[in-house]
Each structure stands twice: as structure tokens, then as C-alpha cells.
Amino acid sequence: MLHNPEDYPEPQMFNPDRFIKDGKINPDVRDPLTVAFGFGRRICPGRYLSNGSLFILIASVLHVFNIHPVLGEDGKKYDPFSAVITGLISAPEHVPCIVTPRSERAELLIRQTSSEANLS
């Protein structure tokens, strides 16, 4: 359903811009969440927990880390979509990047969180 060309032109192409129009969310494009978790009586009861958990995880990573692309041999940014794994879930095969703490305070927060996780 998420590969219907009537709803998503060129569905096999990675194009997040399809959801944006004039700098805002395009209301003419079908929201993938309407079918990603099922629908009707069989809709996933954990969809809100899943979306909330993913949001917190991504926000936490972006809060404490700087993530920079690695330059290729030609001096240009590496294109992560040059090799893609396909199947049930599509994903880039390899995304080389440099991940560093944003500050000394962020590094301290990371180390504290890591040591607390190792205690349990």
C-alpha cells in the first residue's frame, strides 16, 4: 500500500521532499502512518508507544552528538543510497559517519547514562 504510485509518485525512490510543499507538510500526500501500523480491528495497539519511543531516542541522540558525513575518496560526501538493502525493510547498506559529543557536558551525560545502564 505504501508503494502505490497514485499515492506516492516513484515509490521506489527515496524522496522525503514528496511530503513537503512550500516549506510545510503537504496535505495532498497520504500520511504513511495511516497504513504503516495497520487499520481497522487489526491496528497495532503499540503504535503510540513506538512513535513516542522513536522520537525520544532520536531527540536524545541529536541532543548530545554531532553527526558528520565522511568524505569519499573524491572529496565529496558519501552517498548512502548508492547501495541499498531491500526486503521487508529497505535501508542503506552502509552509512559511514563521524559521531562526536557536542560538548564536555554532553560527554559527561553520555558517560553517566552508559554507566547507569551497565548497573542494571
- Residue 87 CA to residue 89 CA, distance in Å, equals 5
What 3-state class would DSSP assign to 104?
helix
Residue of 38, 18, 14, 36 whose CA lies nearest to 26: 18
44 annotated as ligand-binding: yes
Q: Which three cell numbers stand for residue 48?
A: 503510540
DSSP state of 29: S
- Residue 78 CA to residue 66 CA, distance in Å, equals 17
Mark the binding-site residues for heme, compressed into ranges: 44
Mark the binding-site residues, compressed into ranges: 44
